[in-house]
Amino acid sequence: MPGDVLELRLDGQLFGSYHHGPDLARPYLAPLLDGAGRQVTCDPGPPDHPHHRGVWIGHRDVGGVDHWTEFAGHGRIAHLGFDEVGPAVIRERLEWL
């Protein structure tokens, strides 16, 4: 799996993995698991939408830059660091490039 990963746990049970490495177009959450441990997200997405990985934030046009797809010339949402990681909060700094 490319990039850095933050495992998210609830009562000790894994419910998701947050990918935020420098080689990614944008951070994303995958897999996301339900209470029974079943995966409810895909990673990568279907062949015609490989940029659809798990749960992520993006937009097709941010100041004229594509932050949705991974076509040539797309933008990047860079992880700068976590300000807080705790049992009920994750606060992260991002830069939309």
pTM score:
0.86
Residue whose C-alpha is closest to residue 53's, from 24, 75, 82: 24
* pLDDT value, residue 1: 44
Which tokens in the block code for residue 82? 């976590």
Residue 6, judged by CB atoms within 10 A of its CB (0-12, 13-18, 19+), counts as middle
* pLDDT value, residue 45: 78
Residuewise pLDDT in 10s, the chain (97 residues): 445 999 999 889 999 999 999 999 999 999 999 989 999 998 777 888 878 889 999 999 999 999 999 989 999 999 999 999 988 899 999 999 9
* pLDDT value, residue 30: 93
Are 68 and 49 in contact by the 8 Å Cβ rule? The answer is no
